[in-house]
Chain A
């Protein structure tokens, strides 16, 4: 059984069909990329699978169980984590706290014990801070552990989001354009980071425009165009497919 199975998934906004009848399966432990021109419906697909949008039609199966229509916080409890194309960082918190909040579901969230500074809760929080600092070092932000979030650059915040997502110890991680807006050196670093995350056993679903990164990292690639699935296959299959070449590089390529 696949870890994630999407069956004829559709989403309409008014009359606009953003995602139409898309189906694919993600096996555990792979890097599965979703590519396609701007407006192809990649981010909408992510928003559907992670519960930010409710599908108009179709099924989303996690371990065989249909989870379509569940809330993001319920999906998070099932091991789904994600980052955002346009940053969603809490600027009212420091960098390390942003990572710590990623571990929300693994913590004692009782309000009374929190107000009373319950010893167990405080101890767990201290361990978590060390864990978060280690995660920040893992994504290459070791120097920014004590920084305020609103003082950090775009490229750093992108990686901070990845650290926050990892703090949840997800089974499946959705990365929405992790390299967008980064310079070439940062892009290579992020590619390297995704490789290390996958090596740790986290299943990664990646939306990305940087073709070099996608082709070198992915085990499988889903190509979307105008909200529909165009092709799915290994990087080699996708690269050679005439429809992909036409849609992605233009008819003349």
Chain B
């Protein structure tokens, strides 16, 4: 129960921060940064369910983001779909792709699972680059504006509140999920697969379910990115983007809901803060990651939480 209280306090803090930012952000640059951070945070939350909680890896999550993003660009442009329907279709398509490849993929473990998901992401990327008549190829394509109840959602401020709400709901839902029968089974198969199996957990089904869920999170946020930016390019589905998300999970803290948020905040904001270093930003970025891994090997939030708990005793 104390866990539940800690979680609710955390959620309250994030809510407060989300509520305050638009009023203290000095200019639109910061609001833009906050929106990108929020989008990343939701994807990282989903990815952390898969990697941190269920103990499976994905190096292809950017592929699902790309799928969602291009659904929002292609379906309204070429087929006249309503953007909201396209968004749902994008998320479902990401989930469907994940479901189709999941069974063969989860026969694999460790490095092989990493390679298979890496390949999946690369295939999506290649398809997006090559099907130029639909996707605009490497140049990408513009995305029609999202309309909700007859109103065009175009301003940064509108998107900020949408992303903020999505983030808070995702945090709440993730916290609920991990503290439920489904969540315990998912964590148990990470802790000991054979123990999970003998208490009745159909481990393959659970791995597939978590993979599909996190792919749908990624697909949905790909759509949001597409509408917010107003333009999509296959770079969204790049391998580098997958690695970036993975880094957020690891730096923030595996199997930590708030670690996901902190990781997303830190690694989205850091390149901007380091931009003043002109030419050295990549080196500095790398150095921060290396230092994090040396001194905070379990990730920021879990390491600091453990340290805090030790001091309290």
Do B199 and A164 touch across chains, with their CB atoms under 8 A apart? yes
B103 in contact (CB, < 8 A)? no
Do A104 and B185 touch across chains, with their CB atoms under 8 A apart? yes
Which of the 9-residue segments A27-35, A111-119, A188-196, A240-248 touches chain B? A111-119
B82 in contact (CB, < 8 A)? no
| Residues 206-238 of chain B, each 1 if its beta carbon lies under 8 Å from chain A, else 0 | 000100010000000000000000000000000
Chain B at the A interface: SS class: helix
B177 in contact (CB, < 8 A)? yes
**Chain B neighbourhood of A72, CB < 8 A:** 194, 197-198, 200
Do A109 and B181 touch across chains, with their CB atoms under 8 A apart? yes
Quick one: which of B182, B195, B196, B198 has the most chain A CB within 10 A? B198
B269 in contact (CB, < 8 A)? no
Complex Cα distance, B209 from A117, in Å, reads 18
Do A125 and B180 touch across chains, with their CB atoms under 8 A apart? yes
Contacts A71-B197, A73-B203 hold; do A121 and B191 have CB atoms under 8 A apart?
no
| Residue among B180, B191, B199 making CB contact with A93, cutoff 8 Å | B191
Do A114 and B185 touch across chains, with their CB atoms under 8 A apart? no
Taking residues whose C-beta sits less than 8 angstroms from the other chain, chain A's interface range is: 35 or more
Complex Cα distance, B201 from A91, in Å, reads 17
Contacts A77-B200, A110-B182 hold; do A89 and B195 have CB atoms under 8 A apart?
yes
Do A101 and B177 touch across chains, with their CB atoms under 8 A apart? no
Contacts A109-B182, A111-B209 hold; do A104 and B190 have CB atoms under 8 A apart?
no
Question: How many whole Å from B247's CB to the nearest CB in chain A?
Answer: 21
**Chain B neighbourhood of A109, CB < 8 A:** 181-182, 185
Do A73 and B200 touch across chains, with their CB atoms under 8 A apart? yes
B184 in contact (CB, < 8 A)? yes
Do A101 and B188 touch across chains, with their CB atoms under 8 A apart? yes
A84 in contact (CB, < 8 A)? yes
Do B187 and A115 touch across chains, with their CB atoms under 8 A apart? no
Contacts A90-B188, A92-B191, A125-B181 hold; do A116 and B173 have CB atoms under 8 A apart?
yes
Contacts A52-B194, A114-B177, A114-B182 hold; do A105 and B200 have CB atoms under 8 A apart?
yes
A50 in contact (CB, < 8 A)? yes
**Chain A neighbourhood of B183, CB < 8 A:** 114
A208 in contact (CB, < 8 A)? no
**Chain A neighbourhood of B195, CB < 8 A:** 84, 88-90, 101, 164
**Chain A neighbourhood of B139, CB < 8 A:** none
8 A Cβ contacts from A114-166 to B: 114-117, 121, 125, 164-165
**Chain B neighbourhood of A71, CB < 8 A:** 197, 202
**Chain B neighbourhood of A165, CB < 8 A:** 199
B192 in contact (CB, < 8 A)? yes
Complex Cα distance, B179 from A108, in Å, reads 13
Known A92-B187, A97-B184; further 9 A-B contacts with Cβ < 8 A: A51-B198, A52-B197, A80-B198, A84-B194, A90-B196, A97-B187, A101-B195, A104-B201, A121-B181
* Chain B residues with a Cβ under 8 A of chain A: 173-174, 176-177, 179-185, 187-188, 190-192, 194-203, 209, 213, 255
* Chain A residues with a Cβ under 8 A of chain B: 50-52, 71-73, 75-77, 80-82, 84, 88-93, 97-98, 100-105, 107-111, 114-117, 121, 125, 164-165, 167-168
Q: List 6 A-B contacts (CB under 8 A).
A: A51-B198, A93-B191, A109-B185, A121-B181, A125-B181, A167-B199
